[in-house]
Structure 1
Amino acid sequence: MLRTVVTRLLAMIPLVFVVATATFFLGQLSGVDPAENIVGPDATAEQVAAVRAELGLDKPALVQYREWLGGVLQGDFGSSVYTKADVAESLWQALPVTLSLTVGGLLVGLVLGVPSGIWSALRAGRPSDRGVSLLATVGQAMPGFWLGLLLIFAFAIKLPWFPAVGYVPPSAGPALWFGSLVLPSISLGLIAAAAISRQTRSSMIGVLQQEYVRTALAKGLSKRRVVFKHALKNAAAPVVTVVSFQVTALLGGSIVIERLFAMPGLGSLAINAVLRRDPDVIQGFVVFTVVIVVVVNMLLDLSYAWLNPKVRSA
């Protein structure tokens, strides 16, 4: 496992470097000038040039890149050209919102996906199994933002059980914090639940057909014990792989959900930065997101190694 951690951390360095470099130079090719957005359409060429010089945008692209990369290596991601807010500080402030939403969506996916997949596998071929498979297929095809709108209409407008928009930090009270996450987490997590359910069903069906499962049942062990103590652990490895993919999808999907529910997370920060062409914020967001994805996938790889002894011994 230690080798897996070290390998992942070493692989993260060139990955972050390549992604950050590509993001920087693609931004240079966008053709949008932040200085023109700041001074407005009625500004003179001299005013635009003065703002560009103040922001350092008049320097060659390679010089800007070298200065930005040097700052990043020292933990300085620059500042917003519009608000002057420190990028690193803004990212750290938005991170708890996105992580809360992502973890909430993942919990929804696991709580709904794993039990429904097991239940469907135990009834493989029956009408109930086909019904669960149909729901999973519909769930994977359902847009998260559309589901979010339905949930807002049903449980925030018609039945005012949860807030329609906004995010409440945990410091304001656990109940308020939990309530602000319910609807966006369900909107984000149902698609993940569908994918996890399908993979759990497929893995469990394959494991339940193994000889050791039949032998355990023949020896008189209860079906519940065989399923949850023996079969489920062996079927969990492919599920963990799907979960790792879903974590990345949840982080990406949170951008839309945060916008829909007016949550001040990384997604909202990134969208605002893209709309305004705020280069340091965009680049900082990309680097931050890549690091989060790599760390989360590394943790899931460790879980996979724990479940699969062959990986541990490799």
Structure 2
Amino acid sequence: MPDTRKRSAHILGRVLATVGRSVGIFIPVFVVATFVTFALRQMSGLSPARIQLGEKATPEAIARVEAQWGLDRPFLAQYGDWFNGVLHGRLGTSWTNGSDISTLIGTGLGVSLSVAGAALVIGVVLGFVLGTVAALRRTTWIDRAVTGFVTVISVMPAFVVGIVLVTVFAVGLGWFPSAGYVPLAQGFGPWSLHILLPALALSCDVVADVARQLRTSLIAASLENYVTGAVVRGLSPRRIFLGHVLRNALGPTLATLGLKFPALVGASVVTEWIFGLQGFGRFANDAAQAGDVPAVQGVLVVSIVLVVGFNLIVNLVLARVTPAAQRGV
């Protein structure tokens, strides 16, 4: 019983240490990133008056509109108010339509997180299977076939894969809808049917990265001295693979996922156009095209949170499953 409590306390200590390190990195990065993000408006020279009144607006009219938006105040005062709003979940108001940016981003983010989350699950599962099979059958035709397959899909753009999937499975076979999105609240079946094709299109890069990294890590781990020692001790091949090789090989593979999920959300803009989805990536593109600086700032803030948040999750998983992290290495 004392050993169990001691082990639980040790695990809790590692988790708290990981969270503490991540928070310690996140706070200064977040402050600097938001400051630079907010300063982009000053450097861009864009103004809501130009959007609302046009290029022929008089200086008096421009000054009046900018005063309404509080842009005549000192820069640091504007940043302080905006940053305080960000901390409370308020990302400002759109210059183009006067809508709340948090609401607009929330609507699109739900779509993109659904697609990106499904793409990540598909990529991890398929990549894990392919990488493991290739490592266990290394130097055979199976290894060469897996390596060739992941090389091909890694260089295929998501929009090309998306067009092929729509043509074959939506238009040709009619198995899936070709466009649109149904929220999960309306049923798992309709929701999954609408996100599966775009998720498959986005998952190719994840499959390739996970498979290649896991294959390399498994082969390297299988050649370590501790594996030889386990064989000498008479441990079964399954126990050696699961308890020694796989656990030590997972670290580099999980680390590659640190930026994958936020990158999938950001890279979904073309896929969203193909499948008719009003997601986060498409919203970001529309905001940038319209010169809606507050909306672009909101997108950058949410992206920063996604990157840091997902990396925190990855670090927590690493601290739990990899032997090196458990030893504090």
Q: Same fold (TM over 0.5)?
A: yes
- Which residue in the other structure is 2:212 paired with? 198
Q: Which runs of 5+ in 1 are unaligned?
A: none
Matches within 5 A, 1:1-314: 1-41=15-55, 43=57, 45-213=59-227, 223-314=237-328
Give the distance between the partners of 1:65 and 1:15, measured in 2 at CA. Answer: 16
Shift of 1:88: 2.0
Change (3 A) 1:209 1:312: closer
Check the 8 A contact 2:150/2:208 in 1, yes or no: yes
Give the distance between the partners of 1:50 and 1:227, measured in 2 at CA. Answer: 70
Shift of 1:264: 2.4
TM-score normalised to the size of structure 1?
0.90
Aligned pair count reads 314
Shift of 1:307: 2.2
Give the distance between the partners of 1:35 and 1:259, measured in 2 at CA. Answer: 30
Give the distance between the partners of 1:279 and 1:312, measured in 2 at CA. Answer: 44
Matched AA of 2:295: V
Give the distance between the partners of 2:232 and 2:76, measured in 1 at CA. Answer: 71
Give the distance between the partners of 1:141 and 1:215, measured in 2 at CA. Answer: 40
Give the distance between the partners of 1:142 and 1:88, measured in 2 at CA. Answer: 34
Give the distance between the partners of 2:261 and 2:90, measured in 1 at CA. Answer: 27
Shift of 1:10: 2.7
TM-score normalised to the size of structure 2?
0.86
Shift of 1:47: 4.1
Matched AA of 2:258: S
Matched AA of 2:214: T
Give the distance between the partners of 2:167 and 2:59, measured in 1 at CA. Answer: 49
Give the distance between the partners of 1:141 and 1:97, measured in 2 at CA. Answer: 25
Specify the SS of the correspondent of 1:29.
helix
Give the distance between the partners of 2:88 and 2:263, measured in 1 at CA. Answer: 30
Shift of 1:313: 3.8
Identical counterparts, % of pairs: 37
Give the distance between the partners of 2:136 and 2:317, measured in 1 at CA. Answer: 25
Change (3 A) 1:48 1:153: farther
- Which residue in the other structure is 2:4 paired with? none
Give the distance between the partners of 2:81 and 2:16, measured in 1 at CA. Answer: 35
